[in-house]
Structure formats: C-alpha cells, structure tokens
Amino acid sequence: MKCLARSATTKCCVETYLVETPSERLEGHSTGRGKKGSSMQKHVITIQDISCIGRCSLTVALPIISAAGIETSILPTAILSTHTGGFEGYTFRDLTEDIMPIIAHWQSLDTQADAIYTGYLGSDQQLRLIADIFRYFKAQGSLIFVDPAMADNGQLYPAFDLAFALGMRNLCSLADLIVPNITEATLMLGREYPDEDYDQPYIEQLLRDLAAIGPNQVVLTGVSFVYDRIGAAAYNKATDSIDYYFTERIDGYYHGTGDIYSSALLAAIINDKPIAQSIQIACDFTLDAIKRTYVAATDPKYGVDFEHSLGAFSALF
C-alpha cells in the first residue's frame, strides 16, 4: 500500500490518499464484484449525512441494505439533529475534513466494495472529494450509484443553489446508475420544471438526455402519466430500452421516501435482480411504508414506517 504516511488530519491533495497497485486489489476486505467468482457476502459503502431524527439518508440506507443481506459500511458526511425539510433549529456538524482520512484508512485495509452509493451531500467541496473517491472505486470495478438528493416538487432543498445542482450533474457524469426525481433531472439539465404537465415522449427524452451526461442507467422516480398511478422509469443506454413500473398514488408528501426507494433499488440490483424487477421491488417497498404511515396519520416530516416492511423485504433475497 502506498502513500498513507500522512497523518489523518493533514490536508493535502486528495489524490495523495488514493493510490494503489493492481496486486493490492486482490487481497483484503472484499466481496462480490470486487472479487469475481467469490461466494462472499456483497458489500456496499454508502456516503450520506446522518439526520438523527426524521428517517432519511443513512438512518434508512443502513437498515434497508443490511436487511437485503448485504454488508453495509457507512461514511457519514455530516451529522444533523434532524433533516432540513420541515424542522426548525436543527444542528449541523460538517464532517468534510474526515472524509479523506477515513478513505485513506480503508485503503490501508484494502477495502473493496460491490457498490458506492451516495445520497444527500452537504457542499460543493464534498462533491469534489467524492468524485475522487468514485474514480478510485470505479477503477476497482465497484458500481457507482448516485441519488442526486437535492430537490423535490420543483424546489431545491433549503441548503442548495443552482451551482450545487451543476456540481451534482458532474458527480452524476461519473456514475454507472443515477436515481433522480423529475425536479432533480430538470435542474441538472438546466430545464424548467414541468410540474405534472408532461407526457411519455418528454420522460423518454429526459432519460436519454440524462444518460448522455455519463451514466449507463437512469432510474427516474415520481413518474406519473395518469393521476392515480405513480412509479419509475428505468433507461438502459447500452440497449436503449426503457422499463416502467407504476403503483397506486397515496396523496400527501412523505419525507425520506426518495432515500428509501434508492436504498431498496440498490439492494435489489446488488442482489443480481434485473433492473425491471429492481424498480418494482423498490416501488412496492416504498408504497407499503407510505400506506402504513398514511393509515397511522403520523407527522410526515418524521418519515415513513418502513421498519414494518423490512421482514417481507428481507425475505425477497
């Protein structure tokens, strides 16, 4: 292993942390994709914030991906007392300075992963660091999975601006698979948000334009052609094919459901389910949690009761 001599708190060019030799890739902590032909457990690394209350980002990704039988490692980018969508007075501790030292330590352990999954990220600087992390893991064969979690319903989340949306577009250009909603898709393409005013050709053009940024696969969420049905569209650039899956729509806005959807989708993909089945598994899992929460009539800013869906979800894998 090279280049890990600097102290964990020393600031330097990020490439300094990210050097390895091909032979080093073959040993150490590795699963599935990292070690082809091995029967070892799959391994996902997810990089997002911890919102301590409010069921989103890491507090949903970790239990959902773990329930699918996948070893799940986390790289927290920030710690907030709650998420930023509807709570007042939340605390925010930025962990940007810890990101590369954590990666350097993992590199010294020869950590490999079947997938790197990013969700909500806190700043432009984090986007740049994570781009370097992507290059490192992509060279080892990890699937790069980006949920550009930054906006919904035509609005950026409070912490973000258009420059951040452009930075997120750059991160998506390095990904194998991205999972935007329609708001995030149009922001990254510099287009107006169409609200409900779109048709199937519009969605299919959006998918192709997003894939042209870089990723081979795009899963667009929140797609609805008739009011009472909502779901996802999955585009594969290599085959130029599109799969759709729709479920019933439950009225209301439920916080964190994008993160729940992405986590379930990645879990299915890493368990080798085809994309058409993976979008179905993720939609059904998310709907189940929303329905239970609708019936319970709890405050939607606390997120949805996905916990009672985990047993059936786990049984799928």
Which residues contact ligand PXL (rule: CB under 6 A)? 49, 51, 56-57, 80, 83-85, 119-120, 149, 157, 256, 258-259
Token pair of 102 as six digits: 């954590």
Least CB distance to ligand PXL at residue 58 (A): 9
**Nearer to ligand PXL (CB atom), residue 14 or residue 130:** 130
- Please check whether residue 269 is in contact with residue 177, taking contact to mean a CB–CB distance below 8 angstroms: yes
Nearest distance from residue 50's CB to ligand PXL, in Å? 9
What's the closest the beta carbon of residue 112 comes to ligand PXL, in angstroms? Answer: 27
Distance CA 20, CA 22 (A): 7
DSSP single-letter state for residue 251: S
The DSSP code for 22 is G
Which residue type, as a one-letter code, is found at position 1? M
Q: Give 32 or 85: the residue with its C-beta nearer to ligand PXL.
A: 85
Query: Nearer Cβ to ligand PXL, position 57 or 142?
Result: 57
Q: Return the closest-CA partner of residue 59 out of 42, 41, 72.
A: 72
Least distance between ligand PXL and beta carbon 49 (Å): 5
User: Which class for 276: exposed (0-12), middle (13-18), buried (19 or more C-beta within 10 A)?
Assistant: middle
Query: Which lies closer to ligand PXL via its Cβ, residue 49 or residue 305?
Result: 49
**Which residues are paired to 241 by β-bridges?**
236
What count of residues does the chain have? 317
For residue 99, the minimal CB distance to ligand PXL (Å) is 16
**On the CB side of 273, how many CA atoms lie within 13 Å of its CA?**
18
Q: Are 175 and 145 in contact (CB under 8 A)?
A: yes
Residue with Cβ nearer ligand PXL (148 or 214)? 148
Q: Which residue has the tokens 């969508």?
A: 85
- Minimum CB distance to ligand PXL, residue 281 (Å): 20
Q: Closer to ligand PXL at the Cβ: 214 or 258?
A: 258
> Min. distance of Cβ 29 from ligand PXL in angstroms?
28
d(CA 10, CA 85) in angstroms, rounded, equals 34
Closest separation in Å from C-beta 147 to ligand PXL: 8
For ligand PXL, give the closer residue by CB, 31 or 72. Answer: 72
Q: Is residue 217 within a helix (H) or strand (E), and if so which, with residue range? A: strand 217-223
| 131-155 burial: b if 16+ Cβ within 10 Å, else e | ebbbebbeebebbbbbbbbbbbeee
- For ligand PXL, the closer of residues 17 and 254 by Cβ is 254
Task: Report, in this order, helix, strand and coil percent for the chain, each rounded to 5.
Answer: 40, 20, 40
